[in-house]
Amino acid sequence: DVKVTQSSRYLVKRTGEKVFLECVQDMDHENMFWYRQDPGLGLRLIYFSYDVKMKEKGDIPEGYSVSREKKERFSLILESASTNQTSMYLCASRIAGSQRGYEQYFGPGTRLTVT
Amino acid sequence: EDQVTQSPEALRLQEGESSSLNCSYTVSGLRGLFWYRQDPGKGPEFLFTLYSAGEEKEKERLKATLTKKESFLHITAPKPEDSATYLCAVQGGNYGQNFVFGPGTRLSVLP
Protein backbone atom coordinates (compact mmCIF):
# COMPACT_ATOMS: atom_id res chain seq x y z
CA ASP A 1 0.00 0.00 0.00
CA VAL A 2 1.14 3.50 -0.80
CA LYS A 3 1.69 5.55 2.30
CA VAL A 4 1.93 9.32 2.43
CA THR A 5 2.33 10.81 5.89
CA GLN A 6 2.19 14.40 7.06
CA SER A 7 3.93 15.64 10.17
CA SER A 8 0.89 17.09 11.92
CA ARG A 9 -2.88 16.61 11.70
CA TYR A 10 -3.61 19.90 13.43
CA LEU A 11 -1.41 22.96 13.85
CA VAL A 12 -2.05 26.37 15.41
CA LYS A 13 0.41 29.18 14.70
CA ARG A 14 0.57 32.90 15.25
CA THR A 15 0.68 35.55 12.55
CA GLY A 16 4.26 36.17 11.40
CA GLU A 17 5.62 32.79 12.50
CA LYS A 18 7.60 30.62 10.10
CA VAL A 19 5.76 27.34 9.61
CA PHE A 20 7.10 24.02 8.31
CA LEU A 21 4.82 21.28 7.00
CA GLU A 22 6.52 17.97 6.31
CA CYS A 23 5.42 15.21 3.98
CA VAL A 24 6.99 11.77 3.55
CA GLN A 25 6.11 9.04 1.06
CA ASP A 26 7.36 5.47 1.12
CA MET A 27 6.80 4.39 -2.50
CA ASP A 28 9.86 5.90 -4.20
CA HIS A 29 7.65 8.29 -6.17
CA GLU A 30 9.36 10.93 -8.27
CA ASN A 31 6.57 13.52 -8.21
CA MET A 32 5.29 15.25 -5.08
CA PHE A 33 2.68 17.96 -4.66
CA TRP A 34 1.34 20.44 -2.09
CA TYR A 35 -2.26 21.59 -2.26
CA ARG A 36 -4.52 23.65 -0.07
CA GLN A 37 -8.22 22.97 0.18
CA ASP A 38 -10.78 25.58 1.18
CA PRO A 39 -14.58 25.40 1.22
CA GLY A 40 -15.99 26.58 -2.08
CA LEU A 41 -12.56 26.82 -3.71
CA GLY A 42 -11.67 23.16 -4.00
CA LEU A 43 -8.14 21.84 -4.27
CA ARG A 44 -5.55 24.37 -5.40
CA LEU A 45 -1.97 23.51 -6.28
CA ILE A 46 0.69 25.46 -4.39
CA TYR A 47 3.95 23.83 -5.53
CA PHE A 48 5.08 20.58 -7.04
CA SER A 49 8.35 18.76 -7.50
CA TYR A 50 9.25 16.46 -10.37
CA ASP A 51 12.24 15.03 -8.59
CA VAL A 52 14.84 15.72 -5.91
CA LYS A 53 15.90 19.38 -5.75
CA MET A 54 13.41 20.27 -8.49
CA LYS A 55 10.40 22.47 -7.85
CA GLU A 56 7.81 24.30 -9.86
CA LYS A 57 5.23 26.89 -8.87
CA GLY A 58 1.62 25.85 -8.97
CA ASP A 59 -1.41 28.11 -9.14
CA ILE A 60 -1.04 29.88 -5.79
CA PRO A 61 2.64 29.95 -4.71
CA GLU A 62 2.65 33.41 -3.13
CA GLY A 63 3.64 33.31 0.53
CA TYR A 64 4.98 29.75 0.29
CA SER A 65 8.25 28.03 -0.50
CA VAL A 66 9.23 24.35 -0.70
CA SER A 67 12.21 22.13 -0.20
CA ARG A 68 12.98 18.67 -1.54
CA GLU A 69 16.40 17.48 -0.47
CA LYS A 70 15.51 13.78 -0.45
CA LYS A 71 13.25 11.84 -2.78
CA GLU A 72 10.85 10.73 -0.07
CA ARG A 73 10.42 14.10 1.65
CA PHE A 74 8.75 17.31 0.48
CA SER A 75 8.44 20.27 2.81
CA LEU A 76 6.15 23.27 2.55
CA ILE A 77 7.29 26.46 4.25
CA LEU A 78 5.16 29.44 5.15
CA GLU A 79 7.76 32.19 5.47
CA SER A 80 5.57 34.50 7.55
CA ALA A 81 2.20 32.98 8.34
CA SER A 82 -0.89 35.09 7.79
CA THR A 83 -4.52 34.50 8.72
CA ASN A 84 -5.47 33.97 5.07
CA GLN A 85 -3.24 30.89 5.09
CA THR A 86 -5.58 29.15 7.51
CA SER A 87 -6.57 26.07 5.53
CA MET A 88 -6.33 22.30 5.06
CA TYR A 89 -2.97 21.42 3.50
CA LEU A 90 -2.67 18.22 1.52
CA CYS A 91 0.46 16.51 0.24
CA ALA A 92 0.39 13.99 -2.61
CA SER A 93 2.85 11.81 -4.47
CA ARG A 94 2.88 9.93 -7.75
CA ILE A 95 5.17 8.00 -10.03
CA ALA A 96 6.38 10.00 -13.01
CA GLY A 97 4.77 9.45 -16.39
CA SER A 98 5.37 10.98 -19.78
CA GLN A 99 2.49 10.07 -22.07
CA ARG A 100 0.26 8.39 -19.50
CA GLY A 101 -1.15 9.98 -16.39
CA TYR A 102 -0.84 8.26 -13.06
CA GLU A 103 -2.93 8.72 -9.96
CA GLN A 104 -1.79 10.85 -7.08
CA TYR A 105 -1.88 9.44 -3.54
CA PHE A 106 -2.72 11.86 -0.79
CA GLY A 107 -1.70 12.17 2.82
CA PRO A 108 -4.20 12.67 5.65
CA GLY A 109 -3.89 16.46 5.59
CA THR A 110 -2.78 19.14 8.05
CA ARG A 111 -5.41 21.53 9.35
CA LEU A 112 -3.49 24.78 9.92
CA THR A 113 -4.99 27.64 11.86
CA VAL A 114 -3.17 30.98 11.93
CA THR A 115 -4.32 33.36 14.66
CA GLU B 1 -7.84 25.77 -20.70
CA ASP B 2 -8.56 22.43 -19.03
CA GLN B 3 -11.77 22.44 -17.00
CA VAL B 4 -13.75 20.01 -14.87
CA THR B 5 -17.30 20.42 -13.60
CA GLN B 6 -19.26 18.00 -11.43
CA SER B 7 -22.97 17.56 -10.89
CA PRO B 8 -24.95 17.54 -8.81
CA GLU B 9 -23.25 19.62 -6.15
CA ALA B 10 -24.96 17.55 -3.46
CA LEU B 11 -27.02 14.36 -3.55
CA ARG B 12 -29.12 12.69 -0.87
CA LEU B 13 -30.09 9.07 -1.39
CA GLN B 14 -31.93 6.50 0.63
CA GLU B 15 -29.98 3.36 1.40
CA GLY B 16 -30.31 1.04 -1.59
CA GLU B 17 -31.32 3.82 -4.01
CA SER B 18 -28.88 3.66 -6.96
CA SER B 19 -27.76 6.81 -8.75
CA SER B 20 -24.95 8.38 -10.79
CA LEU B 21 -22.58 11.28 -10.34
CA ASN B 22 -21.40 13.24 -13.35
CA CYS B 23 -18.00 14.67 -14.20
CA SER B 24 -17.81 16.77 -17.37
CA TYR B 25 -14.44 17.83 -18.68
CA THR B 26 -12.71 19.77 -21.41
CA VAL B 27 -9.08 18.91 -21.85
CA SER B 28 -6.52 18.90 -24.58
CA GLY B 29 -5.05 15.44 -24.90
CA LEU B 30 -6.51 13.46 -22.02
CA ARG B 31 -3.83 11.51 -20.21
CA GLY B 32 -6.09 10.23 -17.46
CA LEU B 33 -9.32 10.83 -15.55
CA PHE B 34 -9.29 10.08 -11.83
CA TRP B 35 -11.97 9.55 -9.19
CA TYR B 36 -11.39 10.09 -5.50
CA ARG B 37 -13.45 9.75 -2.35
CA GLN B 38 -12.93 12.25 0.46
CA ASP B 39 -14.29 11.94 3.98
CA PRO B 40 -14.63 15.10 6.11
CA GLY B 41 -11.30 16.27 7.52
CA LYS B 42 -9.28 13.66 5.62
CA GLY B 43 -7.22 13.47 2.46
CA PRO B 44 -8.74 12.20 -0.80
CA GLU B 45 -8.63 8.43 -1.27
CA PHE B 46 -7.91 7.16 -4.76
CA LEU B 47 -10.66 5.10 -6.40
CA PHE B 48 -10.19 4.77 -10.17
CA THR B 49 -8.15 5.83 -13.18
CA LEU B 50 -9.71 5.85 -16.66
CA TYR B 51 -7.71 6.47 -19.82
CA SER B 52 -9.89 6.16 -22.88
CA ALA B 53 -13.52 6.47 -23.96
CA GLY B 54 -15.44 3.27 -23.36
CA GLU B 55 -13.30 2.18 -20.44
CA GLU B 56 -15.03 1.03 -17.24
CA LYS B 57 -13.72 0.21 -13.76
CA GLU B 58 -15.56 -1.35 -10.82
CA LYS B 59 -14.99 -1.59 -7.09
CA GLU B 60 -17.64 -2.96 -4.79
CA ARG B 61 -20.76 -0.79 -5.28
CA LEU B 62 -18.95 1.76 -7.48
CA LYS B 63 -18.53 1.72 -11.23
CA ALA B 64 -16.80 4.44 -13.22
CA THR B 65 -17.29 4.96 -16.95
CA LEU B 66 -15.71 7.33 -19.45
CA THR B 67 -16.80 9.02 -22.67
CA LYS B 68 -14.99 11.67 -24.69
CA LYS B 69 -16.65 14.48 -22.74
CA GLU B 70 -17.70 13.08 -19.38
CA SER B 71 -17.35 10.40 -16.79
CA PHE B 72 -19.98 8.85 -14.56
CA LEU B 73 -19.60 7.29 -11.16
CA HIS B 74 -22.47 4.85 -10.72
CA ILE B 75 -23.36 3.85 -7.18
CA THR B 76 -25.42 0.69 -6.92
CA ALA B 77 -27.46 0.01 -3.78
CA PRO B 78 -25.50 2.52 -1.68
CA LYS B 79 -24.99 2.17 2.04
CA PRO B 80 -24.58 4.95 4.64
CA GLU B 81 -20.81 4.32 4.68
CA ASP B 82 -20.69 5.47 1.05
CA SER B 83 -21.47 9.00 2.26
CA ALA B 84 -18.54 11.23 1.28
CA THR B 85 -17.48 13.85 -1.22
CA TYR B 86 -16.49 12.38 -4.58
CA LEU B 87 -13.87 14.28 -6.56
CA CYS B 88 -13.04 13.98 -10.23
CA ALA B 89 -9.74 15.14 -11.74
CA VAL B 90 -8.16 15.12 -15.19
CA GLN B 91 -4.63 15.28 -16.43
CA GLY B 92 -4.28 16.73 -19.90
CA GLY B 93 -1.43 17.39 -22.24
CA ASN B 94 -1.35 21.15 -21.73
CA TYR B 95 -0.90 21.21 -18.00
CA GLY B 96 2.24 19.19 -17.69
CA GLN B 97 2.18 16.72 -14.88
CA ASN B 98 -0.64 18.37 -13.03
CA PHE B 99 -4.25 17.59 -12.30
CA VAL B 100 -7.29 19.80 -12.70
CA PHE B 101 -9.81 18.93 -9.98
CA GLY B 102 -13.54 19.36 -10.08
CA PRO B 103 -15.42 20.89 -7.12
CA GLY B 104 -16.81 17.54 -6.00
CA THR B 105 -20.22 16.01 -5.32
CA ARG B 106 -21.24 15.67 -1.69
CA LEU B 107 -23.14 12.39 -1.30
CA SER B 108 -25.30 11.55 1.70
CA VAL B 109 -26.84 8.09 2.02
CA LEU B 110 -29.57 7.91 4.61
CA PRO B 111 -30.39 4.66 6.44
What architecture (CATH level 2) is domain A4-114? Sandwich (2.60)
pLDDT (tens digit per residue) in A76-96: 999 999 999 999 999 999 988
Q: Which of B48, B98, B105 to mutate to test the interface with A (most CBs of A within 10 A)?
A: B98
Sign of the dihedral defined by the CA atoms of residues B42, A96, B91, B54, in that order: negative
Q: Confidence band (pLDDT; 50, 70, 90) for B2? A: confident
Q: Does any CB of chain A come closer than 8 Å to the CB of residue B104?
A: yes
pLDDT (tens digit per residue) in A35-86: 999 998 889 999 999 989 889 999 999 999 999 999 999 999 999 999 999 9
Q: Kindly give the pairing relationship between strand A105-106 and strand A87-94.
A: antiparallel
Give the integer Cα–Cα distance in Å for A106 and B42: 9
Q: Are B32 and B47 in contact (CB under 8 A)?
A: no
Domains of chain B: 3-110 (2.60.40.10)
Is cis: bond before B111, omega within 30 of 0? no
Residue of A nearest to B95 (CA): A58
* Domain coordinates in residue numbering, chain A: 4-114
